Each structure stands twice: as structure tokens, then as C-alpha cells.
Structure 1
Amino acid sequence: MSRRTTAHAGPAGSLEDVLERARRVPPVAGFPGVDALLAWFGALAADHPGLVRERRIGTSRLGEPIPMVTIGSGPRPHLLFAGVHPNEPIGFRTLQHLASELVGDPDLLAASDATWHLIPCIDPDGTRLNEGWFADPADRTAYSRAFYRPAPAEQAEWTFPFAYRDAWFDDVIPETQALMRVIDEIRPELMVSLHNAELGGVYYYLSEDVPGAVPALHAVPRALGLPLDVGEAESPAIRSIAPAVYLMSSTRDEYDYLDSLGMDAASMVGGDSSSAYASRHGTVSLVAELPYWSHPLADDTTPTSADYADVVRAKGEAMIALGGTLVGLLDEARPDLTIRSPFLRASEAFVPMTAELGRSEVLRAERPGLRRPATAAEVFSNEDVVRMFRLRWGGMLLRALDAEVHAGLATARVHRVAARAREVYAGWTAEADSLTGLTVLPVEQLVGVQYGATLAMSRVLADRAAGRGATS
């Protein structure tokens, strides 16, 4: 993915240059597995010993070394890490491309005035459990059937220490400990946690509303012809800065929101985020969320005849029903399950959580102010959340049951539950497959957004430090 210096649309580091660079990401297919990814970065360090330094920063729960690569020696520390959620591998390609550009284009490295710290994969254990779909991410059903997402208490992004009111979390996993050490050591000016969504459009999270950030971030997907996602936010507790740009998700805000609904908030939240932890150093954090698949309704703000409160209530009721179905399957099989696989641990966390989230949405639907026409994007995104959770959690529960079957340990009861789960799941995949209008997005465009957004935020922060407005 490397490229040598070529003429740019503007001075290196200008917004025109950033957008042109984002547009020029070369075609790429699929995503690398852990071994290929780490070998690629190891070779880069070996080929550029005076510029690229590699060192171990931690160890995964299964004993795998976690490396970090550092490029450049500018006074502005930037930290990027991928594989935070192991079902979100776009960041692997983004880091490969960024590293290639920094090594191959001295103008870009000099213009950033930064030292770039890149962690190729912070959760190698979880990533290996998703590699079955990395070669061809175009098929949503194949993706969901080979899907794995760790239980919340096993996620590197959401296991930072947290203490608020009657909630307490200090069970920090080794991968998160590695991030904590690096954050405290380098005190990053800019930190980019590389996530991605599944279906819809582009949206962002920022730890603070930095002047000039919104227009720069909006310009990147526009330059690549990708829609913004102006549908439902991931949580009602999340506050909007601008269309498709949100303040970073906060465990404290989530607690307060759930408590305001009368729910047991302490039992529904866990650890804090990397952004919350890094804020002690004045770090500005960015997340660029990108979909594998897009849909015309993702950015359609046309009012519909549907009432927004009814749309929210219908989603909540569907999630309650989904949770009930999955809990029933899991509870029936549980007495005979013998393998404490990651799939089972994740299912035991997410399956009951689905119904709880559904109940919170039913309660929200009764709040004043929700009686208004829903936009087409809101209707679509609320409906698709249900589809997404059916495919995700149903697929993981099947993997948990399959582990017993493939190991030759499944009892007759487990075989019966697995057969029924496959039948239910087939209905959910058929419903998802019937959705028309989906477009598979080229990986290079998704990389272009993360890459361009990172360069754009670096530029915005440099302008702020210099006391000037963001200019092109």
C-alpha cells in the first residue's frame, strides 16, 4: 500500500491535500489476519530502521505479545490503535496505509510535526475469532455467522477503571493495561481509537467540540462520495455536536440516563473508555465509525408518516422479544454446556442485555417530546438495529453451541437446542437478506475516511495550538 511523493492539491497538511490523499487510497481487498498484519509491520520496521521503531507494549490474555510501531520524532504525540473491537478490522488497513504514507512521503511526516505511535492490533485473541470472514466482508450473513465480539468485561475499549455513584469497575484486562501504560507514557495530543459500524453511513465521535473539526470531518466522506449517517444515535445518552458528529460516548452519561428511566444503572454499565482515561492528559480523542454496507436511507432526513415515539417503542418491543428468544435457547442448553468458550461468555452477557436495552427503549418512548414525525433515516436505523442484534447475538450463540457439537461433547438436549437455534437464525438471515438497496462499500473508501479524518484532526489541533482558525 506504499506510495511515493507526488504532487498534491495543496501544501502538505492543508485540507485540500488531506482530501486528495484520502481519495488516493489504492484498491484493497478484505482484511489481514493477525499474523499477516503483525508480519507486515515487522517488515516495515526492519526495512526502515532509522525511521520506524517497534517494541512490545503488553501481552494478551492468551499470551500473545502486543507490539507498537513508532514513526517519526516530532513534538506532537499521536496514538492510534486498531482491533479495539475485533469485529471491526477496517482500522488494520487504515494503519497499514498511514504507516506506508508516513514512511514513503517525507512531506507528510514533516507537515504533521508529530510522532506517530501505531498499535496494529490491541486484541489479537478476539481478532483471530473473526478471521473467518476477513477475506470477503461483502456478505452480511456470512459476516454474522462468523462474528465474534467479546463480552463487555473483556473489551479493551470498555474496561478502563470507572467509579461513579454505586457503580464500580476495576477488573482491567491486560490489553487495557497495555493501553493505559502507553497513554500515560506518551500523553497523546491526538488519540484515534479505530472502530467501525456495519450498515448505514459515516459518523464520528469527538471527546470535545474543537473549533474547525466539524467542517473538516464532514468534508472527508463528502470527498469520497460516502453518506453521513443521520439516523439514530447508538444511545440516547449520547449528545450531538452536529449532524453525524457526537460527543464521545460516556459511561457516566449512560449511567445517568439509565437511572433517569428508573432502571438499575449500576448493573447495566461496566468500565470506562480509552477517551475518558486519556482526558487526564488533555488528549483529544477521535472515532470515525464506518459501515461495510451503505443504504440510501442512511442520510435521508425526509419526514415520514411514522411517529418517532412509535418507532422507538417498536424497536424496544422487538428487542425484548429477541432477548426472550435467545434467553430461552441459552437457558435450555445451559445445564449441559461444558465449554466456557469466548462465544458462550459473550452470549451470557449480550443475550440478557438485549432485553434490558429493549425495556429502556420502551420506557424512553413514553417521554415527552418524542411525539413528532420520524425521519426516513431514523425509521431505517431503528429497524436495522434489531436486524443487527439478531444476526450478531444469534450467530454467536450458534458458535457457542457448535463448540459443544464439534468437540463431540453435545448431549441430545444441546443438539435439539442447536437445531432449533439454526432454524430461528435462518429466518432472521432470510429477513435481513430481503433488505434491498444495500451497497457494499469499497474497503479503500472506508480506509480513506479514517485516514483522512485522522490527518484532518491533526491539522485542526495544530491550528488550535498555533492560535489560528482552521484554514485550507
Structure 2
Amino acid sequence: MLQPWLTSELDTVPGFARFLTVDEINQGFEELAARWPEVASLRRVGTSRLGEPMWCLTVGDGPLHALVGAMPHPNEPIGGLTVVHLARRLCEDPGLRARTGYTWHIVACLDPDGTRLNEGWFAGPFTKSHYGRHFYRPAGDEQVEWTFPFAYKDAYFDQVMPETLALMRLIDDTRPAFMTTLHNAELGGAFFYLTRPEPELHKVLTALPARYGVPLHAGEPEHPSVRQLDEAVFQTPDMREAYDYAEKMGQDPVAVVGGAASDSYAARYGTLGLAAELPYWIDPAAADRTPTEILYADLLLKEAAELRETAELLDEVLEGVRADVVSDSPFLRASRFFVPLVRVTAETNELRAAQDDSARPATVAERASGEGTVHSFRLRFGGMLLRALEGELAIGNGTPAIRRHAASLTRTYAKWCADAESGTPDETIPIGNLVAIQYGSILAGAAQAAASRS
């Protein structure tokens, strides 16, 4: 299933003990450009909202262009290691450059500001609790990957961030045949997004995780509007389809969708887009399609009830400190965005439970996926709200309300961590294996894109 040349490349990926910081990725690119000036050049392609330079390393001189960007979501750092390894291999191996036939444009970090707010967990320990307490994910209108222009029916978005604008310019300048922004998930199995069906590529992508003992995801898709192309291979999410789905379900679609993503923007150039979603922890149930004794509708309702309870508790904290907070920190902005989204997710589950096709047994993978969503939302968004309150306390804004709610949420969060860590410990996947799967998917995707152009 994996061609010998690709297997050989996978074997070049070393082991890693931790993830790279923004400074370390940038330093890696600088060293490569200095060591191989005849094949690599480093240039600044943008500036973050806090004034951080955004760097792109261009390697090779092939007729086709490939665009790779790390950390469009700053809590997903596998890509930082992957881009440095990809760039190094392309610089040092003329045979690999010739085989790919590309000019490669590799962006060190698409959201340096947000990534720095996650660096507290990059060196471990790699537990769910430690991850959640140092987690940061920007509000929707502050995410690079979801702030591309979008206009559809009553939805309109044009609040393009500087980081997004930098990626837009790079897409327009290079008109890539292949593009990937490097993502990863948290728990479960591996899965992939493609902007169009590529059956031969599906086979390679699903074989990559198996080489490292990582199961394929057989649970819930990230959104019910997402279409499945093959086992663990999905059509890249389309905001128009998310809008139509919400509208069909009786929800306000404008409240559900925001901006478009990079793959939607690049579609004008016929670009093949790929994203590899890889977990930090293996859930043994992730690939288990065995029916359970629980109806799928009941599973959805159970998850909805737990998500509603979570949203109500977090909303009570937000409302309780609303009059006292002064910082407008990124953690507060993110909390104000995501807490209502938890409630919307619960509502979506309730509506889905009423559909005729939900009157069937849930699978083991679906049950595990639902439970994992609840734990993930609690640890992610509870952790960010705690960081927001701790930030207020750190600047001396320790009002009685802030101190009271910080203490209460700390106790609740400890219980949520214990619940998430209970039962059979989830296996932490070696970081080098995750980088290898992502690296292999890039090379395989680029090869398929080139073949489709010939």
C-alpha cells in the first residue's frame, strides 16, 4: 500500500520528546536557509496582530507549487515539528526535491500569538489534565483557518485577520497545486480531510496510521454536515453545507457559521487540499463499530444533557464576573465565544436525536466519541476560563466575585480532570510517529496532486 520511496522517507523521522515552540521553529528555518542558500530562501510573508513576523521558507524550483502551513490552530503543534523535518529533508536531498517536482512554500507558524499561549504544555507531561490547564484556542473570529471571506445566503464575513491575509496573499502568489495546513485532534483515531475524492490517495492515507499502530477514527464526524468519502476520509468541511444543515434543523445558521477556510479560498486554483487529523492519545474504542445496547438517539440526548450542564456552569461563572473583569484577555474572548457554542452543540444533538435515522443502536466508537467530546469541551473551555480568571487575579483585580468563582471553578475542574483521566489510561502516541504520519500524508498528497495535473 505504501510505495518503497515513501516508506524510506517515513524512516527519516526521528523520535521527539516534546513539541517545538514558535522561536524554535523560526530558528530551525533560519538555520536551514543559512546552510542551504542555493536551494532555500527565507522571507517574511506577514505580521501577527501582536507584531510577530510570519516566516516562509521556499525550497526547490519545480514547476508546481505546494503550500504547507503549521499551526493554523495554536493548540495543534504536531505541524511545527513536521514543517521543520519536511524543510530539512527537501534542503538536504536533491533526489526528494526532484521526485516531488515542486517549489515548496512552508510557513513556520500561521498563528504565532496563539501558539505561544499553548507552549506551557508542549514539553509535557502529556496528560489530559495538564493539556487542559495550559490550553488555548482563539475565539472563532480570531482563528486563522476560519476567517477567510465568506458570503452565502444571509451569512457574510469579511473580518479578515492579518495572519489570514498573509495566507491569502501566499495562496494568490503561488496558486498551489497542493496545500495543507497542519492540524491534529486530541483523542481517538486518525482521520483525514480532502477537498475532493482521490481514491488512490485514500488507500495511502489510511495505511499510514496502521504502520504506527494508530487506529482509524470510526466515531462521529466533527460536524453532522460533513460527508464521508471513505473509511476515515472525509470531505473537507464546507461552511455552505454547515449553513444549510443548521437551516434544515431549524437553527439560526448565521449564529453557527463564521468565515470560510483556506481550502475554500484556494479552490479557485484547482488546489488539492488535505488535512491530517491525528490524536495525542489513542482510544482503543475509536475504530470499534460493534453495536451497543444504547440507541443512537439516547446517546445523543445523554451527550446533550452533559453539554448543557457544562455550558450552564461555565456561563454562570462568566456572568458572575462580567461586571468585574477588566482585561479583555484572549482567554476571556475565547470563553465568551465557546461557552455559547457548547450550548449550540447540545441543541444540535437534541435535534438529531429526533431524526428517524437515530433510532438504531449506537456503535462502541460512537459512544466513545460522544464521551470524548464532553470531556474535551470541559477540559478545554473550563481550562481557558480558569486562565482568564487567574489573569485577572495576576493583575491585582481580585474582587470578591472573581475570587469566589475562581475557587469554585477550580474545584469543579479538578473533578472534570479526574473524570477524564478515569478508567483505562489512554495511550500517549509517540510524537515521532505522529510527525511521520503527517509527513507521509504531505508527500502522498503532493504526489497525487501532481499526478492529477499531468
* 1:295 aligned partner: 283
Contact residue 19 and residue 223 of structure 1 kept, 8 A: no
Answer yes or no: is 1:237 the counterpart of 2:225: yes
Alignment of 1:219-368 (within 5 A): 219-368=207-356
Answer yes or no: is 1:388 the counterpart of 2:370: no
For the residues of structure 2 that align with 1:433 and 1:369, how far apart are their CA atoms?
Answer: 32
- Residue 284 (structure 1) shift: 0.7
Could you list the per-position Cα deviations for residues 350-369 of structure 1 after superposition, in whole angstroms to 9, with x for gaps in the alignment?
01111111111111110111
Give secondary structure in 2 for the equivalent of 1:299.
Answer: coil
* 2:45 aligned partner: 57
TM-score, structure 1 as length reference? 0.94
Alignment of 1:154-169 (within 5 A): 154-169=142-157
Structure 2 regions of 5+ residues with no counterpart? Answer: none
Q: Which amino acid aligns with 1:185?
A: D
For the residues of structure 1 that align with 2:265 and 2:319, how far apart are their CA atoms?
Answer: 37
- Residue 29 (structure 1) shift: 1.3
* 1:145 aligned partner: 133
Pairing partner for 2:191 from 203, 206, 209? 203
Count of aligned positions: 454
For the residues of structure 1 that align with 2:71 and 2:404, how far apart are their CA atoms?
Answer: 35
For the residues of structure 2 that align with 1:395 and 1:231, how far apart are their CA atoms?
Answer: 25
Contact residue 218 and residue 286 of structure 2 kept, 8 A: yes
For the residues of structure 1 that align with 2:175 and 2:352, how far apart are their CA atoms?
Answer: 39
Pairing partner for 1:68 from 33, 56, 63? 56
TM-score, structure 2 as length reference? 0.98
For the residues of structure 2 that align with 1:312 and 1:293, how far apart are their CA atoms?
Answer: 23
Give secondary structure in 1 for the equivalent of 2:144.
Answer: coil
Give secondary structure in 2 for the equivalent of 1:399.
Answer: helix
- Tell me which moved more, 33-42 or 454-463: 454-463
- Tell me which moved more, 88-97 or 27-36: 27-36
For the residues of structure 2 that align with 1:231 and 1:16, how far apart are their CA atoms?
Answer: 31
Contact residue 190 and residue 209 of structure 2 kept, 8 A: yes
* 2:453 aligned partner: 465
Could you list the per-position Cα deviations for residues 251-277 of structure 1 after superposition, in whole angstroms to 9, with x for gaps in the alignment?
111111111110111122110000101
- Residue 137 (structure 1) shift: 5.3
Pairing partner for 1:447 from 424, 435, 452? 435
Q: Which amino acid aligns with 1:87?
A: N
For the residues of structure 2 that align with 1:399 and 1:53, how far apart are their CA atoms?
Answer: 39
- Tell me which moved more, 130-139 or 328-337: 130-139
- Residue 464 (structure 1) shift: 2.5
- Tell me which moved more, 383-392 or 102-111: 102-111
- Residue 168 (structure 1) shift: 0.6
For the residues of structure 2 that align with 1:379 and 1:389, how far apart are their CA atoms?
Answer: 16
For the residues of structure 2 that align with 1:44 and 1:182, how far apart are their CA atoms?
Answer: 21
Dislocated runs of 4+, deviation >6 Å: none
* 1:404 aligned partner: 392
Contact residue 71 and residue 115 of structure 1 kept, 8 A: yes
Q: Which amino acid aligns with 2:221?
A: A
Pairing partner for 2:175 from 175, 187, 203? 187
Answer yes or no: is 1:177 the counterpart of 2:165: yes
Q: Which amino acid aligns with 1:134?
A: F
Q: Which amino acid aligns with 2:299?
A: V
Q: Cα RMSD between the aligned structures?
A: 1.2
Give secondary structure in 1 for the equivalent of 2:294.
Answer: strand
- Residue 309 (structure 1) shift: 1.3
* 2:408 aligned partner: 420
Give secondary structure in 1 for the equivalent of 2:439.
Answer: helix
For the residues of structure 1 that align with 2:155 and 2:258, how far apart are their CA atoms?
Answer: 8
Q: Which amino acid aligns with 1:75?
A: P
Contact residue 296 and residue 437 of structure 1 kept, 8 A: no
For the residues of structure 1 that align with 2:98 and 2:261, how far apart are their CA atoms?
Answer: 31
Q: Which amino acid aligns with 1:65?
A: P
Could you list the per-position Cα deviations for residues 273-317 of structure 1 after superposition, in whole angstroms to 9, with x for gaps in the alignment?
001010011111000000111011011111111111111121112
- Tell me which moved more, 172-181 or 434-443: 434-443
- Residue 23 (structure 1) shift: 4.0
Answer yes or no: is 1:86 the counterpart of 2:74: yes
Answer yes or no: is 1:115 the counterpart of 2:93: no
For the residues of structure 2 that align with 1:181 and 1:208, how far apart are their CA atoms?
Answer: 23
Could you list the per-position Cα deviations for residues 168-219 of structure 1 after superposition, in whole angstroms to 9, with x for gaps in the alignment?
1000000000000000110000001100000111100000002411111112
Identical positions, percent: 46
Contact residue 30 and residue 137 of structure 1 kept, 8 A: no
- Tell me which moved more, 296-305 or 283-292: 296-305
- Residue 371 (structure 1) shift: 1.1
Give secondary structure in 2 for the equivalent of 1:259.
Answer: helix
Give secondary structure in 2 for the equivalent of 1:335.
Answer: coil
Give secondary structure in 2 for the equivalent of 1:241.
Answer: strand
Contact residue 122 and residue 175 of structure 1 kept, 8 A: yes
Contact residue 23 and residue 224 of structure 1 kept, 8 A: no
Give secondary structure in 2 for the equivalent of 1:157.
Answer: helix
- Tell me which moved more, 445-454 or 208-217: 208-217
For the residues of structure 2 that align with 1:47 and 1:100, how far apart are their CA atoms?
Answer: 10
- Residue 446 (structure 1) shift: 0.2
For the residues of structure 2 that align with 1:282 and 1:67, how far apart are their CA atoms?
Answer: 25
Cα distance change on mapping 1:137 and 1:292 into 2, 3 Å: farther
For the residues of structure 2 that align with 1:373 and 1:268, how far apart are their CA atoms?
Answer: 28
- Tell me which moved more, 89-98 or 455-464: 455-464
Q: Which amino acid aligns with 1:285?
A: G
Could you list the per-position Cα deviations for residues 319-351 of structure 1 after superposition, in whole angstroms to 9, with x for gaps in the alignment?
111111110111011110111100000000001
